[in-house]
C-alpha cells in the first residue's frame, strides 16, 4: 500500500488526513526503521507493507467498531512499536492514551515517537500488564482497553480486563478467523470470570488479499475479582480454563 493508496483508502471510510497527519505517518515510518536497527520492533520493514500491515491495520477498528466519542481514556496493552494506538491517536488527537509495555527499550522508542510526532496526552508505563492491573492508578480506570496480537485470548483477557472500568469496551485485534474462533471458545470462561461478555466479533480482510482480520468487542459488565490479574507470569503459565 503506497502512501497515496493509504490516504485514499482511509478517505473511503470518512477519515480525511490533513498534511500534518500525513507527515506524522511518514515520520513514524522513518523512526520505526531507524530504531528497528537498534532494537527489535518489527519484522516488517518494507514501506508499503508497514503502511498496510501496521498503519492501516491499526486504524481499521475505527470504522469496524466506531465509537460515539473519542475524548476518552484509552489503554493499549503490549503496544510494542505503538500499534494499534499511535496510528489511532494520529487520527483522533483527543484520545487520552496510556500505553503499557514490559520492555523499557520500547518505552524509550515510544517516548521519542511521542515527542517527534508532537502528540499530547500520552502516558507511557513501563510495567508488566499483571502488575499494572493490580495498581490502583490503572485498575478499572479506562473506558477502552485494546491489544493487538499480544497473547492467546484467555491470557489476554486476564492482562487487560482488570484495567477496564465497568461499562467500558475491550477491543482485541486478531488475525485468521478460524484460529480466532478456537481462541474464543477456549476463552469464554476467562471472560466471564473476569467480569465481561463478548458482544460482537467482526470479520474482515486487509486490502490486496493480505490476510484475514478479526476484531473482538467485549463489554465490562462487572468488577473483576480482586485476585485477578494473578502474579506476573502466572496467567500465561496457567490460563483460566
* Nearest alpha carbon to residue 84 among 67, 72, 97, 94: 97
* Nearest alpha carbon to residue 76 among 95, 55, 51, 93: 95
| Residues of each annotated binding site for S-adenosyl-L-methionine | 78, 83, 129-130, 148
Element (H, E) at 103: none
* Nearest alpha carbon to residue 117 among 32, 56, 5, 15: 32
Taking each helix axis as running N to C, give the angle between helix 177-193 and helix 153-160, from 0 to 180 degrees, rounded to the nearest 10.
40
Helix (H/G/I), strand (E/B), else coil: 117: coil
Pairwise CA distance, residues 76 & 79, whole Å: 6
| Count of positions (residues) in the chain | 241
Pairwise CA distance, residues 81 & 63, whole Å: 22
| Residues of each annotated binding site | 78, 83, 129-130, 148
Amino acid at each position: 500500500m503506497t502512501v497515496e493508496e493509504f490516504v485514499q483508502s482511509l478517505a473511503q471510510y470518512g477519515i480525511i488526513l490533513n498534511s500534518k497527519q500525513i507527515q506524522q505517518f511518514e515520520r513514524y515510518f522513518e523512526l520505526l526503521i531507524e530504531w528497528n536497527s537498534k532494537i527489535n520492533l518489527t519484522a516488517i520493514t518494507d514501506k508499503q507493507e508497514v503502511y498496510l500491515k501496521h498503519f492501516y491495520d491499526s486504524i481499521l477498528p475505527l470504522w469496524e467498531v466506531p465509537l460515539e466519542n473519542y475524548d476518552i481514556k484509552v489503554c493499549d496493552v503490549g503496544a510494542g512499536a505503538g500499534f494499534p494506538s499511535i496510528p489511532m491517536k494520529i487520527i483522533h488527537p483527543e484520545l487520552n492514551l496510556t500505553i503499557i509495555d514490559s520492555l523499557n527499550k520500547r518505552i524509550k522508542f515510544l517516548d521519542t515517537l511521542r515527542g517527534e510526532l508532537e502528540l499530547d496526552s500520552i502516558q507511557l508505563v513501563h510495567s508488566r500488564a499483571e502488575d499494572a492491573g493490580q495498581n490502583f492508578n490503572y485498575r478499572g480506570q479506562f473506558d477502552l482497553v485494546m491489544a493487538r496480537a499480544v497473547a492467546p485470548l484467555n491470557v489476554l483477557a486476564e492482562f487487560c480486563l482488570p484495567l477496564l472500568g465497568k461499562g467500558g469496551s475491550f477491543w482485541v485485534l486478531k488475525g485468521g478467523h478460524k484460529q480466532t474462533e478456537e481462541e474464543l471458545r477456549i476463552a469464554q470462561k476467562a471472560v466471564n470470570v473476569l467480569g465481561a461478555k463478548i458482544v460482537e466479533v467482526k470479520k474482515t480482510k486487509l486490502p490486496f488479499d493480505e490476510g484475514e482480520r478479526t476484531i473482538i468487542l467485549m463489554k465490562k459488565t462487572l468488577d473483576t475479582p480482586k485476585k485477578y490479574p494473578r502474579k506476573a507470569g502466572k496467567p500465561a503459565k496457567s490460563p483460566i480454563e
